Amino acid sequence: MERFLGWASRMSSSSKPLLHYHDVVIRQHDYDTLADHCWLNDAILDFHMEYLDRNVISSDSKLKILLLRPGMVELIVHIQDPTYLSSALPRDLDKADAIFIPINDSRPLAAYSGSHWSLMVFLRRFNAFFYYDSMGQSNGREAQLTRAQLTPLLGLQHSPAFVPVETPQQNNSADCGVYVIAITDNLVQRLLQTGGNVPPERLTRITKKDIRVKHIRKDLRQLIRSMQQQQQQ
């Protein structure tokens, strides 16, 4: 009985909210995934996208950039007819200049089944999905399926291309989410700096010098703790 109560207490502590940030709730077990050698979960990617949306992208009115949350992407991928989701999708999805799409290899109706994150970015100017994967083409099948499901929602006249991009490779099994965040940061900055007129060669190759993989975990931990302290004041 004491062992069970101890387990229940740890579970309760792990699920306790640390931070409410608009539509995102970060709990202790989410925060713990920011430790070195841990696999980032969807709540951390949600938080990063929400922060980016409100503090970086929202300040630019010339370019329509959408960051699709992991849960929305999973819903689009696994529903039989994605057009049924039109009322739940972001407004002007069919007019967005750029759409950032986190890809996961999770299976429908299988909780916590995913093991790898990658990134796909649709750019209307090129009518193409650019695919970035820090582990070869591990999520290539899932990315192609996501492209097929999203295409009817984008108001396109022609079928979009699928462009795998040379991407820096992770050297462990845990940093895929870190790479997704770092590449997202880099590409958003490129789009904002050029007003969306990014040269193709700056989209089809990402180097290790372009992204700040090493500092992502620490920066996000500090940001979450700082926001938590502000909310407690």
Q: Characterize the bridge pairing of strands 161-165 and 128-132.
A: parallel
Q: Which residues contact 140 (CB under 8 A, 6 or more apart)?
A: 131, 133, 164
Give the chain's largest Cα–Cα span: 64
d(CA 151, CA 85): 13
Judge contact between 131 and 170, C-beta under 8 A. no
Q: Do 81 and 51 form a contact (C-beta atoms < 8 A)? A: no
Q: Catalytic annotation on 22? A: no
Q: Is 116 a catalytic residue?
A: yes
* Cβ neighbours around 157 below 10 Å, total: 5
Q: Which two tokens stand for residue 35?
A: 């430790």
Active site annotation includes 38: no
| Whether the Cβ atoms of residue 192 and residue 57 lie closer than 8 Å to each other | yes
Active-site residue (options: 42, 46, 133, 185): 133
Q: What are phi and psi of 118, to 5 degrees?
A: -145, 180
Name the active-site residue from 30, 116, 175, 185.
116
Write out the catalytic residue numbers. Answer: 116, 133, 176
